[in-house]
Structure 1
Amino acid sequence: MKKIYHLSTCNTCQRIIQEINPSSDVQLQDIKTETITKDQLEAMYALTGSYETLFSKRAQLYRQRNLNEQTLSEEDYKNLILEHYTFLKRPVMLVDNQIFVGNSKKVVAQAVEAFN
């Protein structure tokens, strides 16, 4: 399975998707219009072993809610991601049993290679 969880309004996500140049067998899911399900999040967790890895600490809500001043558990990270799409670190790219989370140059380069 090849899938990219992204935000269509995010310029960085758009740039990365263009760089990957996904073929027609790659499923794109805009997380704003098609909410992440618990099963999808748990599948991502199975590959990363951490909800914190999937969590975006750059999200505006992270500071607005003073979450940066709290000690969050894995369950907290999971519930926050399920509660609001902005808490998912983007993009999340899946290729078979590989997962690539975020937009660092290294991660993107690995994802581009895996998709091709």
Structure 2
Amino acid sequence: MTITMYGIPNCDTIKKAKKWLDAENIGYEFHDYRKQGIDENLVNAFCQALGWENVLNKRGTTYRQLSQEQKDTLNQETVIALLIEQPAMIKRPILLVDNQYHIGFKADQYAAIFA
């Protein structure tokens, strides 16, 4: 089983997800957007699998700082460029388990994925 977690290390949700995986002795690789970067192919894969509306984190500060015009014109094309430029706007964590993407973290959700 190959597991990759995508995100930024100082995110509270990432910390909770890592803690859960560690407690369950589930090995994973961590892909840090800031250190390892992110590209159009990766963001496209996230959006194809999960839907761009789900990938875009509308609760974060970065999103709230966008102009109303930017928010009003968001679509599949414009959002990908924006997420590459501002990876903090990608909802976290995104987990890739055996070529299947999962988004967010809830203990029940992870328990179901790894059951």
TM over 0.5: yes
Partner Cα separation in structure 2 for residue 31 and residue 111 of structure 1:
22
In structure 1, what residue type is equivalent to 2:85? E
How do 1:1-116 and structure 2 match up within 5 A?
A: 1-21=2-22, 23-24=26-27, 26-48=28-50, 50-67=51-68, 69-103=71-105, 105=106, 108-115=107-114
Partner Cα separation in structure 2 for residue 2 and residue 82 of structure 1:
22
Query: In angstroms, what is the RMSD of aligned CA positions?
Result: 2.1
Partner Cα separation in structure 2 for residue 102 and residue 23 of structure 1:
17
Extract structure 1 runs of 4+ deviating beyond 4 A. Answer: none
For residue 32 of structure 1, give the secondary structure of its aligned residue in structure 2: helix
Partner Cα separation in structure 2 for residue 30 and residue 100 of structure 1:
17
CA-CA distance at 1:56 after TM superposition: 0.7
Partner Cα separation in structure 2 for residue 36 and residue 97 of structure 1:
18
Judged with a 3 Å threshold, the aligned counterparts in structure 2 of structure 1 residues 69 and 44 are, in CA distance, closer, same or farther, namely: closer
The answer to whether the Cα contact below 8 Å between 1:19 and 1:112 also exists between their aligned partners in 2 is no
For residue 56 of structure 1, give the secondary structure of its aligned residue in structure 2: coil
Equivalent residues, number: 111
Give the gaps of 5 or more residues in structure 1. Answer: none
Judged with a 3 Å threshold, the aligned counterparts in structure 2 of structure 1 residues 40 and 6 are, in CA distance, closer, same or farther, namely: same
Give the gaps of 5 or more residues in structure 2. Answer: none
Partner Cα separation in structure 2 for residue 46 and residue 53 of structure 1:
11
Judged with a 3 Å threshold, the aligned counterparts in structure 2 of structure 1 residues 111 and 36 are, in CA distance, closer, same or farther, namely: farther
CA-CA distance at 1:23 after TM superposition: 3.6
Judged with a 3 Å threshold, the aligned counterparts in structure 2 of structure 1 residues 69 and 94 are, in CA distance, closer, same or farther, namely: closer
For residue 109 of structure 1, give the secondary structure of its aligned residue in structure 2: helix
